[in-house]
């Protein structure tokens, strides 16, 4: 098992903040909007450096999405930031009509996604956002795994023409990918080559997948671990090549099973390469208050859950 | 600049187009489209500086218009075609399979003149604000115009946008309300009254103008006044009284023609009231 080292835990939203500032420095057309959550989204540095290119819209997310769409007409590249819940479900029709259907170059930047938002509870813990966004034709959906990757993804989406949903989170999590990495949208990243089981993880669950790989290695199991930071467009080739070799699959994500990464992989495999599969995801349930660690434990989004799923699915191999 | 008479003639042809387009596919929204034909004609044939050919999505150094109440699509398509954005004969494809003239306006099929999809109500004012802000950033001093239905103002997003535009002094924006007092289910006052609409816009910090939207001379004059009111730290709105179905006697004074197409007999009766001024498509 390839060794990965945490270079110092940090939050992915801070990666977004740094990436936004960098994107703003590189391209004067990059602008940012926020619905009263500048601090939470770590947008302060951009606001300070580019006050004339920042729009505080207040607690009015629908208006924020519409303004973003309008800004693209004047060739601006708007990064609209708020919590994942308010960035998707609350404004689904605005995104659908004014952004996705209209093919506008809006970057929807969603923090505090999933259970790890923690104590605020289920009203704020959206677990359906990936599904909502990936269903929209033409929408690119990205869920990076750590600080460095979120920063790189933020810079990369500024250079990509088209609507993007960028999902990140609140808590400090291990930072183990390369600093200043080149982020390639739609490209799965092979973290460990293996032959016994394919583990596809996204977002915060990627680190847990690595930990699971280490535990499996101790048991003599050689897991292939792949970071799927882009849920749409899905790197079908990477997935099919891996599954062709391992013949069984585990997906892991901080999202509902319905509509998430696992759902996308299952669709691909059922059409092209039917394969036994287990999903580590929230099973048709809302979240609740608690610390991020407690919630991930209670809802089964842990390293051990990935290990158990791997053992189970290997037994199901044909 | 066209004379009032020329503008009236154009609006009459636009009304014929609207009715013929909607009749041909037995679907569409004639009532509001007829009511706003004079306004849209004045805007596109006199007031706005715009370039039909080649169409530029970014509209740099052009005035922009956003139709927020997208169900007036037949009206917008007719005006755009008559301005030269696309061939007038293409109006015959309205709402038919594989058309660029979708039921509600969209950029998806690449129809020149359309810069955003609309149809799901309440979104156009926000989009227009974004386009207006981009113009300011780009040092482009042209103006952004919108049209909204009065029933559409029941959507909450409109009020978010109203609040924003005034608070942030988006003063290169002229919004227009088609104040015809009617919506699908009946009179706006009965469905969900807007109360004192003028006072509401004023309270939100807008510069409010009023006009008769079916009097060409008054519309042109009001739009020119509105233009003079831009650049003064306030967004401008025109509350434009119109008659739904205007130009066709049996379509006026009722909400029944909001979303119903005329049959053959009704079309003939309507067209008899509207002279073919520019030649039918």
Phi (first) and psi of residue A79, to 5 degrees:
-105, 110
Task: Tell me the average pLDDT across B120-136.
Answer: 98
Is residue A41 within 8 A of residue A81, CB to CB? The reply is yes
pLDDT of res. B109: 96
- What CA–CA distance (Å, rounded) separates A201 from A261? 8
Residue B103 contacts A, CB cutoff 8 Å: no
Q: Where are the domains of chain A?
A: 9-174, 189-317
Across the interface, do A70 and B134 touch by the CB < 8 Å criterion? yes
Q: Is pLDDT above 90 for B167?
A: yes
A189-317 CATH fold: Rossmann fold (3.40.50)
Within 13 Å and on the Cβ side, how many CA atoms surround A267?
12
Q: Is pLDDT above 90 for A318?
A: no
Is residue B116 within 8 A of residue A69, CB to CB? The reply is yes
pLDDT digits (tens, 9 = 90+) for A93-132: 999 999 999 999 999 999 999 999 999 999 999 999 999 9
Residue B166 contacts A, CB cutoff 8 Å: no
Joined together, the tokens standing for residue B153 give 């103002």
Is residue A27 within 8 A of residue A161, CB to CB? The reply is no
Q: Pseudo-torsion of CA B167, B168, B171, B176, nearest 10°?
A: -60
Give the 3-state secondary structure of residue B257: coil
**What angle (nearest 5°) sits at the alpha carbon of residue B90, between those of residues B33 and B3?**
55
CATH number of A9-174: 3.40.50.970
Please state, in angstroms and as integers, the Cα–Cα distance from residue B22 to each residue in B15, B83, B152, following that order.
Answer: 11, 20, 22
Residue A107 contacts B, CB cutoff 8 Å: no
Q: Pseudo-torsion of CA B183, B186, B187, B188, nearest 10°?
A: -50
Q: Where are the alpha helices (DSSP H) in chain B?
A: 4-25, 30-35, 37-42, 73-83, 124-137, 156-167, 188-192, 197-203, 216-229, 264-271
- What CA–CA distance (Å, rounded) separates B174 from A120? 41
Which chain B residues touch A57 with a CB distance below 8 Å? 164
- To the nearest whole Å, the CA of B119 is away from the closest chain A CA by 8
Give the 3-state secondary structure of residue A55: strand
- What CA–CA distance (Å, rounded) separates A186 from B30? 46
pTM of the model: 0.98
| Optimal mutation site among B126, B139, B144, interface A, most CBs of chain A within 10 A | B126
Across the interface, do A98 and B123 touch by the CB < 8 Å criterion? yes
According to DSSP, the β-strands at B236-241 and B173-179 are parallel
Which chain B residues touch A102 with a CB distance below 8 Å? 106-108, 116-117
**For a pLDDT cut of 90, what percent of chain B falls above it?**
99
ipTM computed for the complex: 0.98
**For a pLDDT cut of 70, what percent of chain A falls above it?**
100
pLDDT digits (tens, 9 = 90+) for B48-80: 999 999 999 999 999 999 999 999 999 999 999
Task: Tell me the average pLDDT across A72-77.
Answer: 98
Q: In 3D, which of A210, A65, A128 has the Cα closest to residue B127?
A: A65
Q: Do domains A9-174 and A189-317 have the same CATH topology?
A: yes
Give the 3-state secondary structure of residue A288: coil
Task: Tell me the average pLDDT across B22-35.
Answer: 98
- What CA–CA distance (Å, rounded) separates A290 from B182? 50
Which chain A residues touch B116 with a CB distance below 8 Å? 69-70, 73, 98, 102, 104
B112: pLDDT confidence band, cut at 50, 70 and 90? very high
């Amino acid at each position: 098992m390839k060794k990965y080292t945490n270079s110092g835990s940090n939050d992915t939203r801070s990666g977004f903040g740094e990436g936004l500032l960098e994107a703003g420095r590189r391209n004067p057309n990059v602008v940012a909007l926020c619905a009263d959550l500048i601090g939470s989204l770590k947008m302060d540095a951009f606001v300070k450096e580019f006050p004339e290119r920042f729009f505080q819209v207040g607690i009015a997310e629908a208006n924020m999405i519409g303004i973003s769409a309008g800004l693209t007409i004047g060739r601006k590249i708007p990064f609209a930031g708020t919590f994942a819940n308010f960035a998707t479900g609350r404004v689904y029709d605005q995104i659908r009509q004014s952004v996705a259907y209209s093919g506008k170059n809006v970057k929807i930047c969603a923090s505090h996604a999933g259970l790890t938002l923690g104590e605020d509870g289920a009203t704020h813990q959206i677990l359906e956002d990936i599904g909502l966004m990936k269903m929209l034709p033409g929408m690119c959906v990205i869920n990076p795994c750590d600080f460095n990757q979120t920063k790189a993804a933020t810079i990369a989406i500024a250079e990509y023409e088209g609507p993007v949903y960028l999902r990140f989170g609140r808590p400090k999590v291990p930072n183990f990918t390369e600093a200043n990495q080149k982020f390639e949208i739609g490209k799965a990243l092979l973290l460990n080559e293996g032959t016994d089981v394919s583990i596809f993880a996204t977002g915060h669950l990627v680190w847990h997948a690595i930990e699971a790989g280490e535990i499996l290695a101790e048991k003599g199991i050689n897991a292939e671990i792949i970071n799927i930071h882009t849920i749409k467009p899905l790197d079908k080739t990477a997935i099919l090549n891996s599954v062709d070799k391992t013949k069984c699959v585990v997906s892991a994500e901080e999202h509902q099973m319905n509509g998430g990464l696992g759902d996308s992989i299952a669709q691909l495999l059922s059409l092209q390469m039917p394969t036994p599969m287990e999903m580590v995801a929230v099973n048709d349930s809302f979240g609740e208050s608690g610390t991020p660690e407690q919630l991930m434990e209670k809802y089964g989004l842990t390293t051990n859950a990935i290990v158990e799923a791997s053992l189970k699915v290997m037994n199901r191999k044909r | 600049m066209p004379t009032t008479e020329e503008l009236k003639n154009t609006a009459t042809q636009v009304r014929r187009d609207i009715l013929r387009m909607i009749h041909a596919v037995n679907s569409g929204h004639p009532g509001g489209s007829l009511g706003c034909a004079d306004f849209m004609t004045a805007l596109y044939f006199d007031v706005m500086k715009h370039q039909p050919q080649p169409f530029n999505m970014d509209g740099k150094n052009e005035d922009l218009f956003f139709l927020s109440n997208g169900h007036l699509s037949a009206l917008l398509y007719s005006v755009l075609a008559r301005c030269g954005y696309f061939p007038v004969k293409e109006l015959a494809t309205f709402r038919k399979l594989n058309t660029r003239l979708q039921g509600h306006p969209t950029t998806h099929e690449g129809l020149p003149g359309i810069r955003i999809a609309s149809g799901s109500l309440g979104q156009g004012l926000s989009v227009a604000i974004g386009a207006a802000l981009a113009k300011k950033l780009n040092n482009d001093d042209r103006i952004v115009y919108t049209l909204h239905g009065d029933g559409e103002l029941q959507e909450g997003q409109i009020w978010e946008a109203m609040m924003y535009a005034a608070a942030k002094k988006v003063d290169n924006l002229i919004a227009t309300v088609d104040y015809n007092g009617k919506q699908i289910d009946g009179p706006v006052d009965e469905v969900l009254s807007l109360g004192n609409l003028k006072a509401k816009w004023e309270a939100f910090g807008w510069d409010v103008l009023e006009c008769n939207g079916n009097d060409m001379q008054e519309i042109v004059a009001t739009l020119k006044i509105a233009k003079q009111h831009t650049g003064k730290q306030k967004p401008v709105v025109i509350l434009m009284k119109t008659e739904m179905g205007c130009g066709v006697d049996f379509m006026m004074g009722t909400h029944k023609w909001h979303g119903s197409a005329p049959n053959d007999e009704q079309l003939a009766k309507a067209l008899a009231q509207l002279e073919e001024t520019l030649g039918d498509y």
